[in-house]
Structures are given as C-alpha cells and as structure tokens.
Structure 1
Amino acid sequence: MKTLSRWLLRESVIIPLISVFAGLIIGAIIMMFGGYNPFEAYQALFNKAFGNIYGIGETIRTITPLIFTGLAVAFAFRTGLFNIGAEGQFIMGSLAAAYVGIMLDLPAIIHMPLAVIVGGIVGGLWGGIAGFLKASRGVHEVITTIMLNWIALYLSNYLIRTHLLEKGQQKSETLAQSSWLSFSFLTDLFNNARIHFGFLIAILCAIVFYVILQKMKQGYELRSVGLNPHAAEYAGINVKSNIIKAMVISGMFAGLGGAVEVLGVTHNVTILPAFQGYGFDGIAVALLGGNAAFGSVVGAFLLGTLTFGATGMKLGAGVPFEIINIVIALVIYFVASRLIFKRLMNALNVNKQEEQ
C-alpha cells in the first residue's frame, strides 16, 4: 500500500486532483458570496458539456485544439524551452492547410492528409525560426516566439486579404470538401455537433509525443539538453541541433492544431482582429497536465469542459462569465501551486514516520 501511495505521489496523480478540487471549492465560495448557487452552477456546467449527445460532441470539439497547443508547449518545456509562440504556429498551420484546401483539386484520400501534413510542417518551420535564433545567436525563445505570434497574425491577415479572400467578405473562400476532416455521418451521430476526426489525430500526437521523449534515442538527447545543456554537450550531444529539433517538433504540434481546426470546424480562414487564444490556452493545458503527453490530454479535457460548459453556467444558473473565468483561473492557479501540496504531503509523511 505504501509503495502504491509513493507511486501515485511520484506520478502526480493525487496532487493535481487535490489542486483541481481546491480550485472548484474556492470558486464555489466566491459564487456563494456573489449570491449564486454553486451546486446549480456546476450541475449546469456538467449538463451543458455532457447532458446530451450534442453537448458531448461540442465538448470534444472544444477540447481538440487545446490538446495540440498543450502538447506543443509541454514538449518544448520538457526539452528545456519555453514555447510561448504556439498561437503563431497555430495560425500559420491553419493558413497553410487552408491554402492547400482552396488551391488544390485532389481526391479526398490525398487532399485531406496533404492539407494536414502541410499545416504541421509550416507550424514546425515557424517554431524552428525561434529554435534557430536561440541555437545560432543565443536569442531567448520567449522573446522570439512572442514576436513571431504578432508576425504570424499580420502575415496571415495579409495573405488572406491578397490571395484567399472571398469577394465582399472578411474570410477566405470555403475549402474544397475533399480536404474536410468533418463527415456528415459523424455530425449526424452527434446531433449536428461540430465534432471531427481531428480528435483522433490529437490523441495520436500525444502517443507520438510520449514515444519520442520516452522510447527513442532522439528523445533522450532532447531531454538531456533540456536538463543540462553543458553536460549534454560534454557527452557528445549536439546541443544546437537538438534545440532546433525541439522547437520544430513543438511547432508541428501547434501547426497541426491549426490545420485540424480549419479542416474540421471552420472550413475557411478569417481576417483576425486579435488572437483567438488557442496557443495561450495551451500554456494552461500544459501546466494542468504537468507537461506530460497524456497529462496534456487530461488538462485539455478539463479546460475544454470548463470553457464549453461555462455557457451552461451562465444560462442555467445565471453566473456571469467574469465569475466563471475566475473559477477557471483558480483551478489553473491551484494546479500551478501543486508544489505546495506536494511539500505538505511530504511533511505529513515525515511526521508519520517520526511518530512510528
């Protein structure tokens, strides 16, 4: 039993659960002070997200892009890098996939995979710019990825306006149906929810994440560079090359997210007045998931459920979106503070051992 308890603690299973529970409890107290019934609010949230087949489909649709951006941020962090540019990589991936979907006329068996792959490659190349600048010039990736977010936003708007814009609209032409990831039988199954097969691609990416970092020699090198670049270099590992590789792979995850969102949900790209926030939400997802592959999937599930279910809290219990956002922020905050819980649990274990 003690061995199982130590394993759970080491794998950060108990601590995130306690953190999430604490966030929801404090959120409930805030709702009570605001004159709202937290039980009704959380029930309305659950009913909105999982109360019917349509809600389940839309919840999965909301979760899907968060998995991609969460994986992008988590992968970079596991290799010692801070990818704050998942938003820009997501935008460039969506733009590239849209270009393939609009400009090419191909059979679906070729068109759809090609659009997805091109979106991932372009996202990877966009992330690789920050990796190259860090490896060659020592420019910190936080600065470059933030700057590249803005470049991606305005470059995407310019290219849409000059090459893809539908006449009289602020969006591109509709992508050829042969490139879509959404299928009528799937939407019919989920009562016209915008669910698509991108969710399966997201799960596959989580598996790839795990295999690369935990089962491959390349992953060992990437993790070694992240833990101690000087020791890795002394051991004969090419540090600069691995920095670029890490940012390219990280960018590919985000770029795939952008491609999947366009091919599966919107079927066009629009001129954006501001960031959509998928990349920044990915930071929260990675944090919730402990920067692990499958932890990021769980983190995306939690954040996506709270995000989509927030409408239910508003309509079903009258809770304003401001309080809903506070609840979401509290959950993230307590998960980020899980080190406090870990130290507390370690202290309690020490005290028990001393008593024995």
Structure 2
Amino acid sequence: MLHQIATGNAIISVLAVLLALIVGAIMIAFTDENVQKASVYFFARPGDTVVAVWQSVSGAYTALFQGSVYNFNRDTFAAGIRPLTETLTFATPLIAGGLGVGLAFRVGMFNIGGRGQMLIAASVAGWIGFGFDLPWGLHMLVALVGGLLGGALWAGIAGLLKARTGAHEVIVTIMLNYVAFYLVSWMLRTPGLLQAPGSSNPKTPAMKETAIFPALLGPQYNLHFGFILVVGATVLVWWILSRSSLGFKFRAVGENPNAARVAGINVKSMYVYAMLIAGALLGLAGVSQVLGTVTTGFTAGIDAGIGFDAITVALLGRSTPWGIFVAGILFGAFKAGGFSMQAAEGVPVEIVLVVQSLIVLFIAAPPLVRTIFRLPDPSRAAKRPRPIVTKEVKAK
C-alpha cells in the first residue's frame, strides 16, 4: 500500500505544491530588505540572518493564510471567516473552467479556448441580464442557460472541425480566442449591442437585479449562488466520467481512439460531444463572472485570465473532477491571499504567480519530483513471479 501511495499521481501533485512553496519561500527571503541587510554581516552574526529569513517567510505565509482561510485578528467569527468566502468566490470560475479543460483532456483533446468560450458565454448572459425584463428567478435561469449554450456552441466549432476535417483543436481554439476577443470588443464599442447607452466607454450596462446570482451568506460576503452551481457541475462531471456509458466512451477515445473505433464507438461524435460539454462548463465560468462577481457591467477583460488558469487547475487536479475541485480552491486561496500578503508584508504579488507556474512545472516533470524526494519509480516496480504451470501427462 505504501508503495502504491509513493508511486501514485496524488503524491506527485502534493509534493509539487510543497516544492513550489519552498521555492517561493526562498524568493520571499531574497527580496526582503531585512534579510538583505542582515546578510551583509552574515559571517559575523549568522543568527540575525536566520531570524530575518524566518520572520519574512513566516510572516508572508501567515498573511497568505489569514487572507485566504481565516483572519485571527478579527473580533468576530463572521468577520474572521470572510477570507475563506473570498477564496471560494475566486475558486468558483476556476473550478468550472478546470472541469471544462479536464473533461477535454480525458477525451484526448487539448482545449486552450477557455478565454474565447468564457467571453462568448459572458456576452450572451450579460446581454440577457441587462437587456430583458423578466421575473426574478426566471431571468437568472434564462441568462444562465443562454451563457452555457453560448460557450458550448463556441467550443463545438472546434470539436466539429476536428471531427469533420481533422483540424487540430489547439490551433482552432487559439484562433477562436482571438476571434471571440475582437468580436466582443467590437460589440462593446457598438451602440445597440453590448455598449451601455449614452456611454463612450467599451463597457456594458449594469446587470438587472432579477438576473444576478443571490448571495449565499448575506450581503456582507461576496460568495454567490455560482459556487453551488460549480459543486453541482463537479458532481455531474464525476457521474458522466465514472458512471455513464458516455463517460466510458470518452475514456476509451482518450486512451486509444483507434481501438475505440474498432470497438464500434463513433469517435468523431465523441469529439463533438466532449467539446460541447467542455464549452458549457467554461461558459459557466464566464456566467459566474458576469452574474456573480462583476454585476456592474463588464469589459473585454471579463475573463481575467481564468481561461488559461483553468489549464493549470486541470493539470494539478489530474483531470479528475474532485481533484480539479480541490485544485481550484487552492488556486482561489492563492488569489485571495496574494493581495493580503502584499498589503501586510510588502511581498510582491507576482511571487504567487511564480509559485503557480512552478506547480505546473513540477507536475509536468514527475521524474524530477521523484528524484528530489527519492520516491520509487512506478515503471520499475517489482513484478510478481508468474506461476509455473505444468501439464500432467497420464501414463499409458
């Protein structure tokens, strides 16, 4: 059992995060002014440098924890738990986007079009959110469904082109990102489409109250109904991949499309279905930005880099639904706590981005992680000796 744990993928992800935090601690120490001053007379009084390093690193990571999980300096529990709600709010679109990228991974497709799919979904949901007068509940539902359909159809273009023409989904989705960005930018500058009436700024009007996701814990917190939708989406993707016949076909195509084709699976249809579902999940990320976070109107930067961060979340989560869920919360904590770390300790917020990048680097190089921590190589696992089967011959 210990050998299986040491050679599994989960331990690699955990150790990749640990290594990234260690490298981040080294960078924090090198950029701290007190450490730099103490290092000048290191050989005379080395203890001062050690203390300065400890204070800078522990202070930074304590601020990261208090800005993302719980702030012990607050007077009440309700105020102290606010950082955790911010983490979940940041994690909501990351989880949805990671699910979309991870599901495509399981089918053997690399969906880099998260930005374009989010922009189209946000535009459709936002247009319905500010342009129509509908009852509360129905308005939000129509805007949500419209955004999901927008993201699904935009991703479906890449799936259809791959199925019918063999076009590589990486190239197609990258190009569709540019098409979506400039299309939305043009609509934001065109009166009568997405631009707010009477305004010259490329920004939409505010969303109507009937279309906004309700707050889960009251108006003092930013956590909204989108998080519940993301939890439901995680359960749905888990059920599709693990319990449905469609998920079995997805996994078969992802493992070996030629063998799946021989087994009677329509591989081309699986590509289209996978991209439609993946686009809808990334569309959920875009809708949560418009109806849950940026309700005062949005610009062409509404995606906020989430479409690319979702790739990192999917990689860290090993393309499994619950792994992506945990990875999304971790990266949401980095986003929420990074600003607190910068404000409290003066640590550049770019160090958090470096830590995120290092996590991807270490996950992409499992042999490096195994070498550093001296983990056994799964390819060299001892095999059980095969039993010798002898055939008895009856004497005549």
- Scaled by the length of structure 2, the TM-score of the pair is 0.82
Whole-Å separation in 2 of the counterparts to 1:239 and 1:134: 11
Q: Secondary structure of the equivalent of 1:91? A: helix
Please state how far the C-alpha of 1:283 moved relative to its aligned partner: 0.5
Whole-Å separation in 2 of the counterparts to 1:348 and 1:90: 38
1:49, 1:305 within 8 Å by CA — same for their partners in 2?
A: yes
Q: Secondary structure of the equivalent of 1:175? A: coil
| Number of residue equivalences | 347
Match of 1:181 among 213, 234, 253: 213
Q: Note the residue ranges of structure 1 that are not aligned, 5 or more in a row.
A: none
For the pair 1:247 / 2:247, whether they are aligned, the reply is: no
- Scaled by the length of structure 1, the TM-score of the pair is 0.91
Change (3 A) 1:100 1:11: farther
For the pair 1:292 / 2:320, whether they are aligned, the reply is: yes
Give the partner amino acid of 2:59.
E
Give the partner amino acid of 2:264.
G
Identity over aligned pairs, percent: 37
> Counterpart in 2 of 1:31?
28
Give the partner amino acid of 1:112.
M
> Counterpart in 2 of 1:226?
254
Please state how far the C-alpha of 1:7 moved relative to its aligned partner: 5.2
Higher relative contact order (CA 8 A, sep 6+): 1
Q: Note the residue ranges of structure 2 that are not aligned, 5 or more in a row.
A: 36-55, 72-79, 384-396
Change (3 A) 1:74 1:352: closer
For the pair 1:346 / 2:376, whether they are aligned, the reply is: yes
Please state how far the C-alpha of 1:40 moved relative to its aligned partner: 0.7
Please state how far the C-alpha of 1:91 moved relative to its aligned partner: 0.9
1:134, 1:140 within 8 Å by CA — same for their partners in 2?
A: yes
2:185, 2:202 within 8 Å by CA — same for their partners in 1?
A: no
- The more displaced of 212-221 and 47-56 is 47-56
Could you say which structure has the higher helix fraction? 1
Change (3 A) 1:75 1:268: farther
> Counterpart in 1 of 2:349?
321
2:362, 2:368 within 8 Å by CA — same for their partners in 1?
A: no
2:119, 2:286 within 8 Å by CA — same for their partners in 1?
A: yes
> Counterpart in 2 of 1:41?
60
Change (3 A) 1:274 1:204: closer
1:238-280 superposed Cα distances (whole Å, 9 cap, x missing partner): 1111111111111110001111211111125433269621100
Match of 1:118 among 146, 149, 155: 146
> Counterpart in 2 of 1:77?
105
Please state how far the C-alpha of 1:149 moved relative to its aligned partner: 0.6
For the pair 1:17 / 2:45, whether they are aligned, the reply is: no
Bigger-Rg structure (1/2): 2
Change (3 A) 1:90 1:134: same
Change (3 A) 1:348 1:75: closer
Whole-Å separation in 2 of the counterparts to 1:325 and 1:109: 38
> Counterpart in 1 of 2:47?
none
Whole-Å separation in 2 of the counterparts to 1:352 and 1:234: 33
- The more displaced of 307-316 and 61-70 is 307-316
1:182, 1:265 within 8 Å by CA — same for their partners in 2?
A: no
1:153, 1:272 within 8 Å by CA — same for their partners in 2?
A: yes
